[in-house]
Amino acid sequence: MQPVGGVVPLRVDIAEKTFRSAQGVSIKALQDLSFEVRQGEFACLLGPSGCGKTTTLRILLGLDKDFSGSFQLPEGGSDRIAAVFQEPVLLPWRTVEQNVRLALPKSLRTKKLDGLFDTLGLAGMRSLYPAELSLGLARRAALARAFATEPAVLFLDEPFASLDERTAERLRHLLLTVWSARPTTALMVTHNLREALMLSDRIIVLAQRPAHVLGMFDVKLPRHYRNPQVMSDLLRSFQQKFPGVA
Ligand SMILES: Nc1ncnc2c1ncn2[C@@H]1O[C@H](COP(=O)(O)OP(=O)(O)OP(=O)(O)O)[C@@H](O)[C@H]1O
């Protein structure tokens, strides 16, 4: 399947991001943070808690413009950008289907969503309201909403945090299934190394705050070969390359 997202990679060159409190205290969150995600590639930003991962995503999503440096989204990324957060942020007074359809641009308003809902195991849940969904189903609805928009770039901020491991694992597989059907340039924040090794083409390893890149770990092996034995080999090579990181 031809990757989407144009020929332009996601390119990040953030010189500095500092938070300043009303009391005048400064926290430097990012410094000289530079990396690229190639078109159609799934990359994870892996780093310790509080190092600046969410801050980076907020900048790339255009939610925080107070930083020095620059970034470039993949071709088409400025109008076709989707995000999945830790909390699914569904409108409680709209059904699952309405929540998904509301996110669609005009050109896709009448789009058939049967395939996507089926793949995500939501076929029978389209008319339910968010309050009727389990945590795992609500996350699936958030994935459906993101993929339905056919984004050129997708940002995910720990979308499986605070789920039990079984549900999280099921969702990782579902995410891979929908992503593989239409490989979209994706950047996912996680501090779960196993999750990063399972999902990524490339892991961008960040240092403690202020975040900067310690190094890259490319996982060239196709995802369907990443069985438990291969995963433990990958884990070992990662730990050799980045001792003490995770
Ligand atoms: N609005 C803010 N005002 C002041 N400091 C902030 C603000 N947002 C984040 N920070 C600080 O910036 C640093 C980076 O925060 P960020 O949320 O980006 O980390 P993170 O790597 O995503 O952490 P986690 O993995 O725990 O979610 C932290 O020290 C945080 O306390």
Taking the centre of ligand 1 as the mean of its atom positions, its distance from the CA of residue 49, in whole angstroms, is 8
Q: What pLDDT is attached to residue 115?
A: 92
Examine the domain organization and report whether 124 and 159 are in the same domain.
Answer: no
Q: How far apart are CA 188 and CA 25, in angstroms?
A: 30
Determine if ligand 1 sits within 6 Å of the CB of residue 207.
no
Regarding predicted confidence, which is higher, 64 or 163?
64
Total tally of structural domains belonging to the chain? 2
Q: What's the average model confidence in pLDDT over 153-168? A: 92
Q: How far apart are CA 86 and CA 89, in angstroms?
A: 9
pTM, two decimals, is 0.92
DSSP, res 22: T
Kindly list the strands in the beta sheet with 68-72, ordered across the sheet, starting from the edge strand earlier in the chain.
26-37, 10-20, 68-72
Q: What is the ipTM of this complex?
A: 0.96
Examine the domain organization and report whether 68 and 172 are in the same domain.
Answer: yes
> Which of 18, 25, 27, 155 gets mutated to test ligand 1 (max ligand atoms within 8 A of its CB)?
27
Q: Answer whether residue 216 shows pLDDT above 60.
A: yes
| Residue finishing a domain among 99, 123, 149 | 149
Q: 45 - beta bridge partners?
A: 189, 204
Question: Residue whose CA is closest, atom 8 of ligand 1?
Answer: 55
Determine if ligand 1 sits within 6 Å of the CB of residue 77.
no
The model's pLDDT over 221-237, given as tens digits with 9 standing for 90+, comes to: 888 899 999 999 999 99
Q: Which residues span the domain enclosing 213?
A: 1-80+151-246
Examine the domain organization and report whether 56 and 18 are in the same domain.
Answer: yes
219: its two tokens: 């996982």
Examine the domain organization and report whether 41 and 116 are in the same domain.
Answer: no
Determine if ligand 1 sits within 6 Å of the CB of residue 17.
no
For 218, residues 6+ apart whose C-beta sits below 8 A from its C-beta are: 201, 202, 203
Exposed e or buried b per residue across 184-205, where buried means at least 16 C-beta atoms within 10 angstroms of its C-beta: bbbbbbbbbbbbbbbbbbbbbb
Average pLDDT, the chain: 91
Q: Answer whether residue 44 shows pLDDT above 60.
A: yes
| Residue finishing a domain among 107, 125, 149 | 149
Q: Answer whether residue 60 shows pLDDT above 50.
A: yes
User: Is 21 within the bounds of a domain?
Assistant: yes
Q: What's the average model confidence in pLDDT over 198-218? A: 95
Q: What pLDDT is attached to residue 244?
A: 80
CATH code of 217's domain: 3.40.50.300
Looking at residue 213, its amino acid is V
For 26, residues 6+ apart whose C-beta sits below 8 A from its C-beta are: 18, 19, 20
Q: How far apart are CA 223 and CA 59, in angstroms?
A: 29
Examine the domain organization and report whether 114 and 72 are in the same domain.
Answer: no
User: Is 85 within the bounds of a domain?
Assistant: no
Determine if ligand 1 sits within 6 Å of the CB of residue 51.
yes
The model's pLDDT over 1-40, given as tens digits with 9 standing for 90+, comes to: 555 545 788 999 999 999 988 888 899 999 999 999 999 9
Ligand 1 atom closest to Cα of residue 189:
22
Q: 215 - beta bridge partners?
A: 205
Examine the domain organization and report whether 173 and 208 are in the same domain.
Answer: yes
The model's pLDDT over 77-134, given as tens digits with 9 standing for 90+, comes to: 677 899 999 888 899 999 999 999 998 988 888 889 999 999 999 999 999 999 999 9
Q: What pLDDT is attached to residue 5?
A: 46
Q: Answer whether residue 158 shows pLDDT above 90.
A: yes
Given a contact cutoff of 8 angstroms between Cβ atoms, the answer to whether 86 and 159 are in contact is yes
Given a contact cutoff of 8 angstroms between Cβ atoms, the answer to whether 113 and 148 are in contact is yes
